[in-house]
Every structure is written in structure tokens, then in C-alpha cells.
Structure 1
Amino acid sequence: MSDRNLLLDDIKTEIEPFNAKGVAVTEGTSFQKDLEWDSLTVMDFVAAIEDRFDIIITMNMQAEIETVGQLVDAVAKLKS
């Protein structure tokens, strides 16, 4: 399994507690449209991701990340 797939699996695990609708999460899953997260949920989730991967996701980056796949790419870039 590639590093990207492992990272995707880790992120899916982090999404689970926030996935109140039980949406099947894929790389194309939208945080706003599919998961229907409000701003507080987004803030809590971002904090969980930052803690899990020991990174900082800036507000500008957050504004550009709409899907799970985009988040995987952003975390991979920040970890490198």
C-alpha cells in the first residue's frame, strides 16, 4: 500500500467521529456538501488532524480544501 493510501486511511479514521450522517468517505467526499459540517465541526476536525500529524493547517489552506483527497494532498505536503 502506498504512503498516500496509508495517509488516506488515517484521515478516514479521523473523520469517523465527525461523520454523523454515516457517509461513505472517498477521496471525492466534500466536507461541506457530503458531510454537511458546520464551522465548529470543521475547527474541531482540523485540530484533530493537526494533532494527529503534528502539522499546522493555515486558514488560507483550509479555505482551499474542499474534499478528502485535497486534504490528503495537503497533509502529505505539510509532512514532507
Structure 2
Amino acid sequence: MAIVDFTAVNPNGICRDQSYIDQDIESCFEILSLLVRHGWQLISARVFMDHTETGLTLPVEAFDGLPIREPIRLLLREWE
């Protein structure tokens, strides 16, 4: 399980602190990219894996609105 906590400004200019939970990290990354695609501006993001208390800060500039799930899977296959 992966959890992403993020702060973002929505298309109406309202700053929001939100969380998203899914079974895999790719889905969490995909939702961040989808938000950017729909006009949200990411301010900060952290991902937590398997209920750990220490999260990993994500580089928000990496989420440019393009699909991210498939490129991650291709990298994983190449690494394996």
C-alpha cells in the first residue's frame, strides 16, 4: 500500500492539503500527474509505503501532466 500526502493549488486558486491511498506507488504517482494535467499546481508531495512513518519527499517538478505509470513499469522491466 502507498500513501501520498500533497499540497497543491487547485484551478480555482485554493490551496489544499490532501492524501491519496492506493495499492501501488505507480497509482499514486499517476494521480499526481493527472491533477497537474487538470490544472492543479503541486507545491509539495511525500509518499509513504506500507504504513511507514518516514516518507520520501517527491520532486514535484517531475509531475508534468503526462502519464507516468507505463514509463515506471518500463524502467522496472529494464532494471529486472
Please say whether Structure 1 and Structure 2 have the same fold, judged by a TM-score greater than 0.5: no
Query: Structure 1 or 2: larger strand share?
Result: 2
Of the two, which has the highest radius of gyration?
A: 2
Query: Structure 1 or 2: larger helix share?
Result: 1
Q: Tell me the TM-score normalised to structure 2 length.
A: 0.28
The structure whose RCO (Cα within 8 Å, separation 6+) is larger is 1
